[in-house]
Structure 1
Amino acid sequence: MSGGEAKLLGRWGEAKAAELLRQRGYTIVAAGYHCRFGEIDLIATTDKYLCFIEVKLRKNDSFAPGRAAVDRRKQQKLRTTAECWLAEHPDIGLQPRFDVAELYAPQGMATREPEFHYWENAF
């Protein structure tokens, strides 16, 4: 898979995750947020929490589950990027939380209903 195809598939996965989270009552406030420290795939709110969400898309989990790719280094990068977002949006007033969304799509973007797992407060 080329870099462009992987990026397209990643964006598709993020859009699917956002759709599934909306169905669960989350409000998506940002997608693909970038600052000099990194990127956060999705930022969403619930009634109590501001969720910084890392989306992991896999065709299967034979190698390792998607959440395993969110190692200590990635977690620190997400925390630092979240601090940047919070500095830009000081009036949110919700408790921050870091979540991981896993999607399994065996046929890639042709998968009609990917398997979805959501890990609240993942780290």
Structure 2
Amino acid sequence: MGIGTGGAGGRPGRSRNGAVGRYGERVAARYLVEQGMAVLDRNWRCRDGEIDIVARDGPTLVVCEVKTRRAGGFEHPLEAIGAVKTERLRVLAERWLLAHPLGGPPGREVRIDLVAVVPAASGAAHVEHVRGVC
């Protein structure tokens, strides 16, 4: 799927949590572009799962997991990412590179980032970006 195709987020009948997640992914993509990255893909899926955002930061391919939570929730969005999820993201990064030969040769530097988005009651959402989580 290319940028802006929406992937699973575009399906009708999705829950309110789905709408919050799609909002967070849009905010995260805009934030990454503002930080100088190029967004290559969004909501890319394969049999092993989904990558929220694939971006390029200079020569580095960046796989981003986006977590969006409403303010006042029980856990910070970044607490929702554990070792199992980061390992799955590594596998998904390999799958993305195999499916996109123009994304770069195997062995290219790949970084996994996390982006947390907390929507504000008014004004801009709060965004936290953690680079190179594994």
TM bracket, shorter-chain basis: 0.7 to 0.9
Shift of 1:11: 0.9
Deviation per CA, 1:37-57, whole angstroms, max 9, x where unpaired?
000100000113110000011
| Mean CA deviation greater in 92-101 or 54-63 | 54-63
Q: Measured at CA, do residues 21 and 61 of structure 1 come closer, stay the same or move farther in structure 2, by a change above 3 Å?
A: farther
In the alignment, structure 1 segments of 5+ residues that lack a partner are: none
% identical equivalent positions: 29
How far off its partner does 1:61 sit?
A: 5.9
1:25 aligns with 2:39: no
What CA distance in whole angstroms lies between the structure 2 residues aligned with 1:114 and 1:79?
Answer: 28
Give structure 1 regions of 4+ aligned residues with deviation exceeding 3 angstroms. Answer: none
Aligned-pair distance for 1:112?
3.3
Distance 1:13 1:32 in 2: 12
Structure 1 residue matching 2:75: 3-state secondary structure: coil
Runs of 5+ consecutive residues of structure 2 not aligned to the other structure: 1-12
In the alignment, the residues of structure 1 paired with residue 72 and residue 37 of structure 2 have an alpha-carbon distance, to the nearest angstrom, of: 26
Give the aligned partner of residue 61 of structure 2. 50
Q: CA RMSD in A?
A: 1.8
SS of equivalent residue, structure 2 residue 124: coil
Q: TM-score, normalised by structure 2?
A: 0.80
- 1:92: Cα distance to partner? 2.8
Picking from 70, 81, 87, the partner of 1:59 is: 70
How many residues were matched structurally? Answer: 119
- Does residue 95 (structure 1) correspond to residue 109 (structure 2)? The answer is yes
Q: TM-score, normalised by structure 1?
A: 0.87
CA contact (8 A) 2:120 2:126 kept: no
What is residue 105 of structure 1 aligned with on the other side?
A: 119
